Protein backbone atom coordinates (compact mmCIF):
# COMPACT_ATOMS: atom_id res chain seq x y z
CA UNK A 1 0.00 0.00 0.00
CA UNK A 2 2.79 2.31 1.02
CA UNK A 3 4.76 1.53 -2.10
CA UNK A 4 1.77 2.31 -4.33
CA UNK A 5 1.21 5.76 -2.87
CA UNK A 6 4.90 6.50 -3.26
CA UNK A 7 4.85 5.71 -6.95
CA UNK A 8 1.71 7.78 -7.36
CA UNK A 9 3.43 10.71 -5.72
CA UNK A 10 6.44 10.21 -7.93
CA UNK A 11 4.20 10.08 -10.96
CA UNK A 12 2.46 13.30 -10.00
CA UNK A 13 5.78 14.97 -9.39
CA UNK A 14 6.93 13.85 -12.79
CA UNK A 15 3.82 15.26 -14.43
CA UNK A 16 4.25 18.55 -12.64
CA UNK A 17 7.89 18.79 -13.70
CA UNK A 18 6.99 17.98 -17.29
CA UNK A 19 4.32 20.67 -17.19
CA UNK A 20 6.68 23.29 -15.81
CA UNK A 21 9.44 22.50 -18.28
CA UNK A 22 6.86 22.54 -21.07
CA UNK A 23 5.76 26.02 -20.10
CA UNK A 24 9.37 27.18 -19.90
CA UNK A 25 10.20 25.74 -23.30
CA UNK A 26 7.08 27.21 -24.86
CA UNK A 27 7.72 30.67 -23.49
CA UNK A 28 11.30 30.44 -24.65
CA UNK A 29 10.20 29.60 -28.18
CA UNK A 30 7.63 32.35 -28.17
CA UNK A 31 10.28 34.74 -26.99
CA UNK A 32 12.76 33.64 -29.62
CA UNK A 33 10.13 34.11 -32.29
CA UNK A 34 9.30 37.60 -31.18
CA UNK A 35 12.96 38.57 -31.13
CA UNK A 36 13.69 37.11 -34.51
CA UNK A 37 11.64 39.64 -36.41
CA UNK A 38 13.22 38.41 -39.60
CA UNK A 39 11.01 40.44 -41.92
CA UNK A 40 12.89 43.33 -43.40
CA UNK A 41 10.72 46.32 -44.20
CA UNK A 42 11.00 47.95 -47.58
CA UNK A 43 11.85 51.64 -47.81
CA UNK A 44 8.25 52.40 -48.79
CA UNK A 45 6.90 50.60 -45.72
CA UNK A 46 9.30 52.49 -43.49
CA UNK A 47 8.79 56.02 -44.77
CA UNK A 48 5.20 56.13 -46.01
CA UNK A 49 3.53 56.29 -42.55
CA UNK A 50 5.39 59.56 -42.06
CA UNK A 51 5.71 60.95 -45.59
CA UNK A 52 2.10 60.17 -46.64
CA UNK A 53 2.72 60.73 -50.30
CA UNK A 54 4.57 64.04 -49.99
CA UNK A 55 7.61 64.81 -52.14
CA UNK A 56 10.59 62.65 -51.12
CA UNK A 57 14.10 63.13 -52.48
CA UNK A 58 17.43 61.50 -51.71
CA UNK A 59 19.83 64.42 -51.37
CA UNK A 60 21.74 66.70 -49.01
CA UNK A 61 21.51 64.48 -45.97
CA UNK A 62 24.50 62.66 -44.57
CA UNK A 63 24.53 59.73 -42.19
CA UNK A 64 27.72 59.04 -40.31
CA UNK A 65 27.86 55.71 -38.53
CA UNK A 66 30.23 52.75 -38.33
CA UNK A 67 29.89 50.33 -41.29
CA UNK A 68 30.48 47.48 -38.86
CA UNK A 69 29.05 47.78 -35.38
CA UNK A 70 30.30 45.16 -32.95
CA UNK A 71 27.47 45.60 -30.51
CA UNK A 72 23.96 46.37 -31.67
CA UNK A 73 22.92 47.81 -28.34
CA UNK A 74 25.05 50.91 -28.80
CA UNK A 75 25.68 52.26 -32.28
CA UNK A 76 26.71 55.92 -32.59
CA UNK A 77 25.02 57.72 -35.47
CA UNK A 78 25.25 61.27 -36.73
CA UNK A 79 22.82 62.99 -39.10
CA UNK A 80 23.58 66.22 -40.91
CA UNK A 81 21.13 67.95 -43.23
CA UNK A 82 22.31 70.79 -45.47
CA UNK A 83 19.92 73.57 -44.62
CA UNK A 84 20.31 77.32 -44.02
CA UNK A 85 18.00 76.92 -40.99
CA UNK A 86 16.40 80.29 -41.65
CA UNK A 87 12.84 81.26 -40.78
CA UNK A 88 11.70 80.48 -44.36
CA UNK A 89 13.74 77.35 -45.00
CA UNK A 90 14.56 75.02 -42.16
CA UNK A 91 14.32 71.41 -41.07
CA UNK A 92 11.38 70.76 -38.75
CA UNK A 93 11.77 67.05 -38.00
CA UNK A 94 14.41 64.36 -38.30
CA UNK A 95 13.32 60.73 -38.07
CA UNK A 96 15.56 57.71 -37.55
CA UNK A 97 14.04 54.55 -39.00
CA UNK A 98 15.12 50.96 -38.69
CA UNK A 99 14.42 48.16 -41.12
CA UNK A 100 14.50 45.24 -38.70
CA UNK A 101 13.86 46.55 -35.16
CA UNK A 102 10.55 45.66 -33.49
CA UNK A 103 9.87 49.41 -33.34
CA UNK A 104 10.55 50.98 -36.73
CA UNK A 105 10.78 54.61 -35.66
CA UNK A 106 13.80 54.79 -33.41
CA UNK A 107 13.59 58.49 -32.65
CA UNK A 108 12.00 61.71 -33.76
CA UNK A 109 13.78 65.03 -33.34
CA UNK A 110 12.08 68.40 -33.61
CA UNK A 111 14.22 71.28 -34.80
CA UNK A 112 13.70 74.85 -35.84
CA UNK A 113 15.45 78.02 -37.05
CA UNK A 114 16.85 78.60 -33.53
CA UNK A 115 19.12 75.59 -33.95
CA UNK A 116 21.36 77.22 -36.56
CA UNK A 117 22.46 73.87 -37.97
CA UNK A 118 20.38 70.80 -38.75
CA UNK A 119 22.67 68.23 -37.20
CA UNK A 120 21.92 65.68 -34.51
CA UNK A 121 23.73 62.68 -33.18
CA UNK A 122 22.74 59.92 -30.82
CA UNK A 123 23.33 56.27 -30.02
CA UNK A 124 20.87 53.70 -31.33
CA UNK A 125 20.01 50.04 -30.80
CA UNK A 126 19.93 47.69 -33.78
CA UNK A 127 18.47 44.18 -33.94
CA UNK A 128 20.89 42.88 -36.54
CA UNK A 129 22.38 43.92 -39.88
CA UNK A 130 20.07 46.29 -41.69
CA UNK A 131 19.54 49.50 -43.59
CA UNK A 132 19.07 52.53 -41.37
CA UNK A 133 17.09 55.39 -42.87
CA UNK A 134 17.30 59.04 -41.82
CA UNK A 135 14.34 61.12 -42.92
CA UNK A 136 14.12 64.89 -42.64
CA UNK A 137 11.02 67.02 -43.02
CA UNK A 138 11.58 70.52 -44.32
CA UNK A 139 9.51 73.58 -43.50
CA UNK A 140 8.02 73.58 -47.03
CA UNK A 141 6.59 70.09 -46.46
CA UNK A 142 9.18 68.29 -48.57
CA UNK A 143 11.06 65.24 -47.28
CA UNK A 144 14.68 64.25 -47.71
CA UNK A 145 16.19 60.90 -46.87
CA UNK A 146 19.31 58.86 -46.99
CA UNK A 147 20.08 55.31 -46.04
CA UNK A 148 23.07 53.38 -44.84
CA UNK A 149 23.69 49.71 -44.25
CA UNK A 150 25.11 48.91 -40.83
CA UNK A 151 26.47 45.43 -40.23
CA UNK A 152 25.79 44.31 -36.68
CA UNK A 153 27.70 41.30 -35.35
CA UNK A 154 25.72 41.07 -32.12
CA UNK A 155 22.05 41.99 -32.08
CA UNK A 156 20.68 44.27 -29.42
CA UNK A 157 17.87 41.80 -28.82
CA UNK A 158 19.84 39.19 -26.90
CA UNK A 159 18.79 38.03 -23.47
CA UNK A 160 20.77 38.40 -20.34
CA UNK A 161 19.57 34.91 -19.33
Report the interface residues with other proteins, using CB under 8 A: 24, 31, 34-35, 73-75, 78, 96, 98, 101-103, 105-112, 114-126, 156-161
At its nearest, how many Å lie between other proteins and the CB of residue 106? Answer: 3
At its nearest, how many Å lie between other proteins and the CB of residue 134? Answer: 13
Residue in 92, 97, 95, 86 with CA at minimum distance from that of residue 132 = 97
At its nearest, how many Å lie between other proteins and the CB of residue 56? Answer: 21
Q: Which sign, positive or negative, has the C-alpha torsion 154, 67, 56, 88?
A: positive
Nearest residue (CB) to other proteins, 12 versus 17: 17
At its nearest, how many Å lie between other proteins and the CB of residue 68? Answer: 17
3-state SS, residue 153: strand
Nearest residue (CB) to other proteins, 101 versus 146: 101
Nearest residue (CB) to other proteins, 12 versus 28: 28
The torsion region of residue 85 among left (phi > 0), alpha (psi -120 to 50) and beta comes to left
At its nearest, how many Å lie between other proteins and the CB of residue 4? Answer: 37
Residue 33: what are its φ and ψ, rounded to 5°?
-65, -45
DSSP 82-145: -----SSS-EEEEEEEESSSSSSEEEEEE--GGGSSEEEEEEE--SSSEEEEEEEEETTS-EEE
Nearest residue (CB) to other proteins, 40 versus 108: 108
Nearest residue (CB) to other proteins, 11 versus 84: 84
Amino acid sequence: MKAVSWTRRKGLKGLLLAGISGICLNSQFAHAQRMNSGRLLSLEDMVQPIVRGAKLVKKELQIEAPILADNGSLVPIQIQVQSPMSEQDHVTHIYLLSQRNPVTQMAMFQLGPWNGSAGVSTRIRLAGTQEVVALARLSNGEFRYNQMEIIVTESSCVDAS
